[in-house]
Every structure is written in structure tokens, then in C-alpha cells.
Amino acid sequence: MYLWVHDAPQTTMAHEASIHRVQTILDWCNFFRDVCEMWVEENGEEIEGMTDQGEPIVVDIAETKYFH
């Protein structure tokens, strides 16, 4: 988990954890991402605001940047 949070390469994760099966590392990374996604869905807050002209500000976040 520590290496995943610090965006270490999966090869580094496998080496440091002495895991030789690539699928195990992929499964754990997907699990961590899923847990984070559930937390955001349950605890996220809307981002809102208005421009100087009184129009709502639209915030668009690409999924590739939103999730690890």
C-alpha cells in the first residue's frame, strides 16, 4: 500500500514485497483504487462556484487523472 500511494512502479512493488506473480500486484493495485473510489463516492463534496457574471463554474476532471 505504501508503494502504491507513492506511485511506485509495479515492478518495484513486486520486488519489495517479494511477489513474483504479476497478477497479484495488479489485483492489489486495483483493490486500492476501488477502495479510494468508494471513499470518494461516499465522502466527496460538490465543487461549486459562480463566475463574476453569475454563471456556474464547470469543473471537468478526466478519469485518467482522477484515479491512480
Strand partners, 56: 50
* Cβ 5 vs Cβ 13: under 8 Å: no
User: Taking the model in full, what pTM does it have?
Assistant: 0.65
Cα separation, 13 vs 10, in Å, equals 5
What does the pLDDT look like over 2-38, one tens digit per residue? 999 999 999 999 999 999 999 999 999 999 999 999 9
What does the pLDDT look like over 30-51, one tens digit per residue? 999 999 999 988 987 776 788 8
